[in-house]
């Protein structure tokens, strides 16, 4: 199984040996392909950047997506209370089987107010934001004292203008995560970490949820389905 910075929509590709992993016996290639980016990113966000510990509370935005679903499982496995946002009550209900404690429907609820309610006014110790834009800015208001807000990706396709002074009052921290950069700068650690996550999925301690599989020839339909926000879990394309 491989990871590469440039290009994925092809039946064959050449990649550096450093970005390859052996698929364990019993794990199918489609599931293995879903692990490095989503699960590696979730691990980096929660623990390397967020320092999440047992007994703390994590708020995970876009819980029904690949990174979100991975983060819910990993946070729960670490002993945290897990809160997640999603676009529908149906998605939130399904996420309970992955370890979700409390769901917030961002279409009908204010996630900042609801997070405060669920934590008796304290806020979340770690917030994982993969949306960006105003969602990242608003997330500061849901942080606990000395909480850590982790920004990874901009699904909202908008920049974020964060005012540094908004972090001062509660001594909060804003961290950025880019898995590709970490793999290059900290290769031994990150490559081994992804390998461990692959083994966890193979053993069944962590699950990969594949929503739909598309032929590579229907790549535009696969992208359209992702952008419709109907997906629950990962989308796979097969040559």
Please give the backbone phi and psi of residue 91, each rounded to the nearest 5 degrees, phi first. Answer: -60, -45
Residue 235 has a pLDDT of 94
Residue 7 has a pLDDT of 74
Q: Which of 149, 1, 134, 155 is nearest to 66 (CA)?
A: 155
DSSP assigned state of 28: -
CATH class held by domain 52-177: alpha beta
Contact predicate 83/150, CB 8 Å: no
- 158 band by pLDDT with thresholds 50, 70 and 90: low
Residue 21 has a pLDDT of 96
Q: CA–CA separation, 92 vs 54, rounded Å? A: 23
The region that residue 55 occupies, defined by phi over 0 for left and psi between -120 and 50 for alpha, beta otherwise, is: left
Quickly tell me which residue has 């390859």 as its tokens.
Answer: 20
- Rounded mean pLDDT of the chain? 94
Is the model's pLDDT at 121 over the cut of 90?
yes
Is the model's pLDDT at 129 over the cut of 70?
yes
Is the model's pLDDT at 69 over the cut of 80?
yes
DSSP assigned state of 237: E
Residue ranges of E strands in the chain:
57-60, 81-86, 102-105, 124-129, 143-151, 173-176, 210-215, 234-238
The H or E element that residue 178 is part of is none
Q: Cα–Cα–Cα angle for 71, 234, 154, nearest 5°?
A: 65
Is the model's pLDDT at 170 over the cut of 70?
yes
- 187 band by pLDDT with thresholds 50, 70 and 90: very high
């Amino acid at each position: 199984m491989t990871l590469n910075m440039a290009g994925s929509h092809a039946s064959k590709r050449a990649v550096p040996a450093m970005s390859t992993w052996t698929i364990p016996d019993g794990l199918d290639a489609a599931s293995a392909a879903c692990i490095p980016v989503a699960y590696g990113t979730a691990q980096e966000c929660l623990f390397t950047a967020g320092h999440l510990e047992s007994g703390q509370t994590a708020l995970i935005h876009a819980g029904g997506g690949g990174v979100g679903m991975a983060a819910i499982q990993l946070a729960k496995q670490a002993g945290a209370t897990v809160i997640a946002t999603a676009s529908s009550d149906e998605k939130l209900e399904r996420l309970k089987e992955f370890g979700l404690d409390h769901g917030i429907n961002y279409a009908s609820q204010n996630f900042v107010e609801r997070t405060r309610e669920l934590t008796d006014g304290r806020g979340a110790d770690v917030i994982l934001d993969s949306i960006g834009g105003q969602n990242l800015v608003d997330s500061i208001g849901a942080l606990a004292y000395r909480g850590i807000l982790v920004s990874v990706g901009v699904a909202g396709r908008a920049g974020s203008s964060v005012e540094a002074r908004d972090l001062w009052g509660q001594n909060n921290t804003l961290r950025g995560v880019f898995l590709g950069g970490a793999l290059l700068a900290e290769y031994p650690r990150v490559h081994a970490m992804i390998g461990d996550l692959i083994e966890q999925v193979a053993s069944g301690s962590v699950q990969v949820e594949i929503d739909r599989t598309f032929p590579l020839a229907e790549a535009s339909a696969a992208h359209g389905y992702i952008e419709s926000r109907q997906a629950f879990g990962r989308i796979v394309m097969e040559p």
